[in-house]
Structure 1
Amino acid sequence: VAGVGNLPRDQAVGYPASEAGVIAVGGVDRAGLHAAISVTGPEIDVVAPAVDIYSTSYDGKYSKGTGTSSATAIVAGAAALIRSKYPYLPAREVAHRLTATAVDKGPSGRDDEYGYGVIDLVAALTADVPPLGFESVSAPAGAGPPTTAAGQRPGDDGSGATARGLATLGVIVATGVAWAVVARRRRRSDDPPPRISR
C-alpha cells in the first residue's frame, strides 16, 4: 500500500505506488471530493481521506496534516482488518476486496482521480465479493453464492473478526500508552538532580 504523491512536489504517481502489485492510494477532501493535493494517474486504485487528518506527532503531541500519506495509513489499516477477518485470503484478493467494495466517485467506473472509489471498510469486511476470475456460468451446480469466505479459518463464520479487530486496536493503544510512560520517565531521568541547600 503506497501513496500516489502530493502536488506540487510530485507531478506523477511515483515509486512504489506505480509498481504492479501495490495498492496506489489517492486522497479525498472533507467533502469526499478529489483532494487538490493528490496526484492523479492511471495507477490509482482507491482513495481515502487525506485533508486535515489528525495523527500522533513529536513530543507526545498531535498534529493535523494533509497528504496522501494519511490516506495510505487508512487504507493499510483497512487491508490489515481484512486480513484479520480472512487470514488465508491471498494478498491480491485482499486488494480486490478493497477495490470491489469502494464507493464509486467521479465518472462511472475506474478513473484517474478516484481509482475504483473511496474505500468502504464495512463493505470490505462484510460484502459477498466474488473472487478474481470467478465466472458465474462456470460455477458447479449447487456451489452457492460466490464469496471470498474461503479466506476464513476453517469453521470460522467471521463473527470473531470484530473481536480480533478490537483486540488489535487495544494492543496498539496499550503500546502507545507504554511508550508515552517510558518517554516521560526518560525525560525525568535526564533532568539534573535537584540542588540541596545547606
Structure 2
Amino acid sequence: MALNSIVLKRAASLAAAINLIVPLFHADRIRDDQWHLRFLSIDSAHKQNLGEGVTVATVDTGVSPHSDLRKNLTSGTDLITGGNGQQDINSHGTSMAGLIAAHGNGSGGALGIAPRSRILPVRIAAQDGRGTPDDVAAGIDWAIEHEAKVISVSYAGASSARLRMSVDRAAREDTIVVAAAGNRPESLAVGFPAALDGVLAVGAVGRDGEHAELSVTGEAVAITAPGVDIYSTSTNNNYSKGSGTSAATAIVAGAAALVRSKYPELSAPEVVHRLTATATDKGAPGRDEQYGYGVLNLVAALTADVPPLSASAAPPATSSAATPEHEGGGRLPWAVVVVLVAAGLALPLFLWMRYRRREGAVK
C-alpha cells in the first residue's frame, strides 16, 4: 500500500487514508487536535478505568516504538520477515496502536482510549500494506495463542476458510475480534472479517456524530465511533491525521479493553453486549445499517446497569444468522410445528390402512 494510506488494503479495498504526517514539534497541540477524546468524554471515562491488565493485539503493519507508547508496547511478532513486530514502515499500525493505548507525556502528545492496556504488535503486512485473508487469519491465531483479550483488525477484504476458522477459534477462546467495516468508494459492502459472525464490525461517524459518508453500510455493522480527522501516533516519533473505519475500529478496540479491565468477569459476548447496549442510538430506531446499534458511548459502557445476555434476549450484536420465518415475520409458532409434524406422521398411516382395506376387498 502507498505511504499515504492508513489501511491494510487487499486489491482495491481500503479502511482509511492518512491525510497528513505531523512533525514532532507539534506534539504539544496533538492532544487538543484529538477531538474524538472530548466527543467520548475521555476524562470521565478514565476516572472509571484505564485498561490495566488487558492486552490488545493489533493485526496490522507492525508498531514502531514511539515515545507516547513506550510504556505499553510489548514484544510481538513479524509474520513476514520475523522479529518482534516493532517495525512499521507504513505507519498504519503505529497509528492504530496510538488510538488504542498511547499514554502521551503529561498533557502533551497523543492519548489512547485505554492508556494502561498493553499493545501486542502482530505484523502481517509490509510497506505496501497488502495482506491476504489468510495473513489476517495467521495474525489472529498468533494473537490468540499469546493471550490477547482484544484483537483489533483495521482491515477490510475478502474472506477465506482459514479466516472463518480463526474467528471461530477466537470465540471459543473468549477473545474479542474488532474489525473495520470498510470505506467507500473502494468498498461497496462490509468487508471481512467484519462481516463474519462473532466479529464486532465498526463503522465511522464524523465530528457531528453523524454517519461519515466514507463509511460502508450494511447489516453486519454493529457499532460506530469517530473516524474523521483523527490524530494519532506515527513512525519516526511523529504523528498522523487520518479518516476511516480503521481509526473507528481502534477506538472501539480501546473501549473493549476498558470494559474488559473494569469487568474482568464478563465473557467476550457480554463485553460486546455492554458496548452495543449502551451505544447512543442514531438513525432508525434500534439497529440499522448505518450506525449498527448506535455510536459508542464510552462512559455509559463503563457505568450503566446493563442486564446480562440471556436465552430470551435478542441475538448477540455480531450475529447475522437467519431464523426460519413465515410470511408475517417471526418464528413459526410451536403449535403450528406440532400440527405439521403430526399430520406428516398420520398421513402414511392413513394411506396404509386404506390400502389394507382395499386389498381385503379384492381377495
Q: Name the TM tier (shorter chain).
A: 0.5 to 0.7
2:222 pairs, out of 34, 45, 49, with 45
Q: Which residue of 2 aligns with 1:125?
A: 302
SS of corresponding position for 2:199: coil
Q: Could you tell me how far apart the structure 2 residues matched to 1:79 and 1:63 are? A: 23
Match of 1:3 in 2: 180
Unaligned runs of 5+ in 2: 1-177, 314-363
Q: CA, structure 1 residues 36+132, in 2 after alignment: closer, same or farther (shift >3 Å)?
A: same
Partner of 2:211: 34
SS at match of 2:276: helix
Shift of 1:63: 1.3
Matched letter for residue 251 of structure 2: I
1:102 to 256, 274, 279: 279
The aligned amino acid for 2:310 is G
Q: Deviations over 1:35-80 (max 9, x none)?
A: 0110000000000000000011122111110010100011000000
Question: How do residues 27-106 of structure 1 correspond to structure 2 at under 5 angstroms?
Answer: 27-106=204-283
- Measure how far apart 1:83 and its partner are: 0.3
Instruction: Give 1:11 shift.
Output: 1.0
Matching residue's letter, 1:100: A
Q: Distance in 1 between matches of 2:312 and 2:206?
A: 37
1:19 alignment partner in structure 2: 196
State the alpha-carbon separation in 1 of the partners of residues 196 and 247 from structure 2. Answer: 20
Instruction: Read off the aligned partner of 2:308 and give its amino acid letter.
Output: P
2:352 corresponds to: none
Alpha-carbon shift at residue 10 of structure 1 (Å): 1.1
Equivalence for 2:289: 112
State the Cα distance separating 1:134 from its structure 2 match: 6.7
| TM-score normalised by L of structure 1 | 0.67
Q: Which consecutive segments of 4 or more residues in structure 1 shift more than 3 A?
A: none
CA distance in 2, matches of 1:39, 1:94: 24
Greater relative contact order (Cα < 8 A, sep 6+): 2
The C-alpha deviation readout for 1:8-57, integer Å capped at 9, x for no partner, is 11111011100111100000011110001100000000000000000111
Larger radius of gyration: 2
Q: What are structure 1's unaligned runs of at least 5 residues?
A: 137-198
Alignment partners' CA distance in 2, 1:107 and 1:128: 24
**RMSD (Å), alpha carbons:** 1.3
Indicate the SS of the match to 1:66.
strand
How far apart, CA to CA, are the structure 2 residues paired with 1:103 and 1:134? 24
Separation (CA, whole Å) in 2 of partners of 1:125 and 1:30: 22
> Matched residue pairs, number?
136
Further displaced range: 54-63 or 120-129:
54-63
